[in-house]
Structure 1
Amino acid sequence: MNQIGYETPFEGVKKLAPGSIMTVENGGVTIKENPWRPSSAADRDASPKTNASPIKEALPTKDSSPIKGASPKKDSLAGKDISGERWAATVLGVIDRTRDGRAVSLGLSGGLDSRVVLALLTKSGIPFRAHVYGLPDVPDVRISTSISRKLGLEHRHYEPHLPPVEELAESACRHASVTMATRPASDVLNLPMFREAGAAGSVLVDGGFGEIGRRQYLKRLWYLARWALYRNDSRTITRHLMDSKPMIFAPEIASKMKEGLEENVEREWMRVRNMGLDMPTTLDLFALRHRVPNFGAPIQAVMDQILPNIMPLIHPDVLDVSFAMPARQKSGSRLFRNTIERYAPELQDFPLAKGESEVPYQHGFWRSQIGGRLRRSLRMQRSEQSGNTGNNGQPASIPVLFLKHIEPWLMDLAGSREVRECGIYDMAELKRRIDAFSAGDVSHAAWLDWWLAFEGFRLGK
């Protein structure tokens, strides 16, 4: 789930939006909103806090020219093309300040975002290791392991551990409650990895929300309904923001939620639109303001209680540099790919993970999308020919392992009086999927995983 705006499901309760200040005085409450926006050259200085500090001189490029110190005035944010070196130095400066002398544990998946951070770390002089979470045969784990082996990195592979059923079920519901149903219930299996990394004294770094720097968020809206953006057509914008997956809610509840979503989209879209920015920047800022705090903040709060961690690609200093770049420097992941080619060209030899598939590194966004769908189709055909259609040709997944482990408990919960009479779920759909999953059709695992997340949130355990 990804909410638009800062309302909550609780009557009379509103989230404190990022940058806002709440003052309680004389029994009254005032809230001053100050939403983040990209800095302009006029209100930004070239102080060292926005640039890589001791590591900037230790970052050679492919042609052996180091990243310079504080950015010269000609490379101000008002310039036409912001230097990729400046962006790289800023990313590393953020990591170096945050780690405060400690070693870094980089979450290295098979994706592009963590790879660009790896490319910079390999030349930075910062001590680090890599880690990955997942089952051994998934693309993220295979690619992460291969890269680490090739580069000679210390590498840790965390596999999901399944506690006793009652303990796991209770933990999953509690996790869903504190993360406000923004993560699937099976996400609780990630927590032991964070605890172990924290116990080792590492600072966890990952490429989370790097899509902002690649202009990947809301691409469907940009390419399929660009006219709606210029006309401020909130209904069409909302339709393209919504996922096409089947809803877990009863039709009347889903309809009411959609109405509220359209109202929020209209209000929040116009707040960004009225800033007078160009449309690509407006779209990126809209995604940043509502994707990061609503989807990312709840799990971030959980992680902050476990270990020091950072997502440098969405640090305000990095975002300032990124937003100042023309769209052409970022579109098609150009900034990230150029950075990898410049600082660690050997990383171009490894494929990228796309869901349950691997795609050649050289493939762009659309070729990767089409290639991934073709591979999924071929897997399903082979699965049907072999008579094994239970998992739609997919390898075993963490949601499947998680739900199979707690299956008796899950079936009891789904059939309980409390669930049947709560009035918000499509009970016929829930029963159909529970029965099919119990009969061996694990293609329903993702739907049930999200249903359990919302139920855990609703129960507030």
Structure 2
Amino acid sequence: MNTITGIICEVPGAGSAPAILRRLTTAALAVSTDGFALSLPVSPTTVIGPETLPFTFAVSGTGLFRERGRVRILAADDWAERLAPDEPRLGDLNGHYIAVRRRGNRTELFSDRAGLRTVYIGRTEYGWIFSSRLDVVCRDVPDAGIDWRTFGSRWLLLQQCSHRSPVRGAVKLPPNGRFRVENGSLTVTSSPWMKFDGVTDAETVAGTIAAFTAPMDRTVSLGLSGGLDSRVLLSVALSSKVPFAVHSFGERTDADVALAERIAAREGVPFNHLQQPFPSRDRCVALMQEYVRTSNLVDGAASSVRLDQYPLIIGGAVMLDGGNGEILRRQFLQRAAVTASDDLRHRRTERLFPAFTLRRADIFSGPFLREMRSGAEEDLHASLHSLPPPDEIGLADFLDGWSALFRIPVVACDEQGRLDGILTNYMPFSQPDLLQLAVRLPERERRNNRLMKRIIREHRPSLARFPLVKNGVRYPYRLTTLQARAWSALARRFAHSADPFLHRFLDAVKEFALDTLGSAATARYDAYDLAAVRRAVEGYYRSERRYGGTVNWWLAFEVWRQGIENEKAGH
């Protein structure tokens, strides 16, 4: 279990913190006193402060500081200097991290500005437990259980629309936030960081992208697909002096992988094809349990195997990923912008609900579904009203600001913790300095990929000769956003829509799925529409492949809730 986990003992006679922590993890303890114990990931992203300081600290993640047109990854001395003052100096940092500081009997935890990492904390019989894994916190929190109102937007909408924990008894650290535990009480604070004022230009944004593509004194492994965002990073990397290679995940025949390999060969860049052999049945189940409980339902169960490639990145390289480049292309929430612009301007939550919906699986019974829907509407309303009015800042900045403040951190915060347990990595387009610039860049520069294609043209115009790939469909580089969307939609109409990888995964976990379906724990679980679950699972394994998506998401939820409920549903 490669995670941050800490114990704070405050109850006399409840046992020592190290003994309690060793019951939860076999990992070595980074800090060990009677009242406080901490374990951390065995990873290049872990920093532990020296014992010579008047306080104890540890960091999991990657702190980035911009200087001289590049970024520097913070080392132990940097963190010690920044965490020494009562009010730590973290406001100018990029990157993603959780910092833990212990001074006397006060324990504090800090998250990065954008909220790309998080941690959960809960009250226990001995004091407090905190962890970057929600299921670990639930092991020692009495009566921990799903908060169905908070969980509602996580299941029914694009992502959860709040920064609260979806589990009763656990508190989530929000973006730019601080936990302080002292004298038996928990204080949670968070400071707004995004400003909706000022204007920037394309040159400033391009220079910032270049800085995040060039970490000092490090080699880079750049994730390259057939998409535009990773190609922008490639164009910048090719014009820099940073040593780098590119990598791609997936089958070599996949459209993204094939195009990435072709581009790398033409541009003379070292290319690494990363593809683990498909795992055994038992390994599939183990990967699913680990992934789902770590990422908290950010994706379906099959992604556990799709994403089991990161350990193949070798040599200590920093992995860069082009995720969330959409924010510089005005692509987030396009469906809402096109179909419900007037409702967005007036923030009419009920009418906007369909535009924010993402259908996962219809597996819950009526009473629970109504509670989820009510909570989802409430959280969507609150999130939309936490920003300045669209008429004041413009609809484009409103949508991209909402995405930066809610979508990006909620989707990233748990999965990023899992990745940080494996290797040093970050996403240039997700950095708060760049997210801030995105809402200050005139909308015309964001639309139709204008800024992104300009960067490619100025840094490596030869990259414009290659087509682009979106959702497995190739289309000409020259197309506008609208033309590309129409091209892809037309291609998908005539394409075979089955996902062979999903079916291979579901076939591998068939025994687990059917055993779980037939268990007493599943039969008595009130939240399920049991008839719908049985129809989907039994139908799928009778070769009704249309139920594949439902089974994928049901498995994810079932494995997740077993972890939350301390595996009382054991099989």
CA positional deviation for 1:29: 2.4
1:392-411 equivalences in 2 (<5 Å): 393-394=496-497, 396-411=499-514
Provide the residue aligned with 1:87 in structure 2: 205
| Larger proportion of helix | 1
Regions of 4+ moved over 4 Å: none
SS at match of 2:278: coil
**Structure 1 residues 370 and 244, CA gap change in structure 2 (3 angstroms):** farther
**Structure 1 residues 249 and 146, CA gap change in structure 2 (3 angstroms):** farther
SS at match of 2:171: coil
SS at match of 1:185: coil
Provide the residue aligned with 2:171 in structure 1: 14
Any conservation in 2 of the 1:38–1:319 contact (CA below 8 Å)?
no
Given the alignment, which residue of 384, 390, 415 partners 2:518?
Answer: 415
1:292-318 Cα offsets, whole Å, 9 max, x none, are 121111110100111000101121222
Provide the residue aligned with 1:154 in structure 2: 270
Q: Establish whether residue 203 from structure 1 lines up as the match of residue 318 from structure 2.
A: yes
Any conservation in 2 of the 1:195–1:306 contact (CA below 8 Å)?
yes
**Structure 1 residues 370 and 436, CA gap change in structure 2 (3 angstroms):** farther
Q: Which amino acid aligns with 2:487?
A: G
**Structure 1 residues 109 and 442, CA gap change in structure 2 (3 angstroms):** farther
Q: Which amino acid aligns with 2:472?
A: E
Q: Establish whether residue 29 from structure 1 lines up as the match of residue 145 from structure 2.
A: no
Cα distance in 2 for partners of 1:268, 1:362 equals 37
Q: Which amino acid aligns with 1:149?
A: A
Given the alignment, which residue of 375, 381, 394 partners 1:266?
Answer: 381
CA positional deviation for 1:192: 4.1
**Structure 1 residues 274 and 31, CA gap change in structure 2 (3 angstroms):** farther
Q: Establish whether residue 308 from structure 1 lines up as the match of residue 424 from structure 2.
A: yes
Provide the residue aligned with 1:50 in structure 2: none
Q: Establish whether residue 257 from structure 1 lines up as the match of residue 257 from structure 2.
A: no
**Structure 1 residues 253 and 350, CA gap change in structure 2 (3 angstroms):** farther
Q: Which runs of 5+ in 1 are unaligned?
A: 41-77, 380-392
Cα distance in 2 for partners of 1:174, 1:424 equals 23
Identity across the alignment (%): 27
1:216-255 equivalences in 2 (<5 Å): 216-244=331-359, 246-255=361-370
Provide the residue aligned with 2:410 in structure 1: 294
Matched residue count: 406
Cα distance in 1 for partners of 2:234, 2:500 equals 26
Any conservation in 2 of the 1:160–1:190 contact (CA below 8 Å)?
no
Cα distance in 1 for partners of 2:498, 2:473 equals 11
**Structure 1 residues 135 and 416, CA gap change in structure 2 (3 angstroms):** farther
Cα distance in 2 for partners of 1:319, 1:9 equals 26
SS at match of 1:418: helix
Q: Which runs of 5+ in 2 are unaligned?
A: 1-153
Cα distance in 1 for partners of 2:252, 2:531 equals 36
1:315-354 equivalences in 2 (<5 Å): 315-354=431-470
**Structure 1 residues 345 and 397, CA gap change in structure 2 (3 angstroms):** farther
1:247-300 Cα offsets, whole Å, 9 max, x none, are 332333222211101101111211113595333212211111111121111110
Q: Establish whether residue 182 from structure 1 lines up as the match of residue 302 from structure 2.
A: no
CA positional deviation for 1:160: 4.3
CA positional deviation for 1:39: 7.5
TM-score calculated relative to the size of structure 2: 0.67
Cα distance in 1 for partners of 2:490, 2:394 equals 36
Q: Which amino acid aligns with 2:182?
A: E
Q: Establish whether residue 430 from structure 1 lines up as the match of residue 537 from structure 2.
A: no
1:84-140 Cα offsets, whole Å, 9 max, x none, are 33222212212323xx42211111111111111111111112111111111233221
Cα distance in 1 for partners of 2:347, 2:468 equals 36
CA positional deviation for 1:429: 2.8
**Structure 1 residues 350 and 248, CA gap change in structure 2 (3 angstroms):** farther
Provide the residue aligned with 1:383 in structure 2: none
Bigger relative contact order (CA 8 A; separation at least 6): 1
Any conservation in 1 of the 2:214–2:240 contact (CA below 8 Å)?
no
SS at match of 1:452: helix
Mean Cα deviation higher: 24-33 or 150-159: 24-33
Cα distance in 2 for partners of 1:300, 1:173 equals 17
**Structure 1 residues 231 and 437, CA gap change in structure 2 (3 angstroms):** same
CA positional deviation for 1:229: 1.6
**Structure 1 residues 340 and 133, CA gap change in structure 2 (3 angstroms):** same
Cα distance in 1 for partners of 2:397, 2:383 equals 15
CA positional deviation for 1:246: 4.7
Cα distance in 2 for partners of 1:446, 1:347 equals 36
| Larger proportion of strand | 2
Cα distance in 1 for partners of 2:408, 2:366 equals 28
Cα distance in 2 for partners of 1:237, 1:296 equals 24
Cα distance in 2 for partners of 1:95, 1:361 equals 23
**Structure 1 residues 297 and 163, CA gap change in structure 2 (3 angstroms):** same
Any conservation in 2 of the 1:132–1:158 contact (CA below 8 Å)?
yes
1:45-194 equivalences in 2 (<5 Å): 78-79=198-199, 82=201, 84-97=202-215, 100-194=216-310
SS at match of 1:324: coil
Any conservation in 1 of the 2:473–2:491 contact (CA below 8 Å)?
yes
**Structure 1 residues 396 and 246, CA gap change in structure 2 (3 angstroms):** closer
Provide the residue aligned with 2:551 in structure 1: 448
CA positional deviation for 1:457: 0.9
Any conservation in 1 of the 2:179–2:186 contact (CA below 8 Å)?
yes
Cα distance in 2 for partners of 1:295, 1:329 equals 26
Any conservation in 2 of the 1:213–1:330 contact (CA below 8 Å)?
yes
**Structure 1 residues 231 and 394, CA gap change in structure 2 (3 angstroms):** closer
1:186-205 Cα offsets, whole Å, 9 max, x none, are 222245421121x4211100
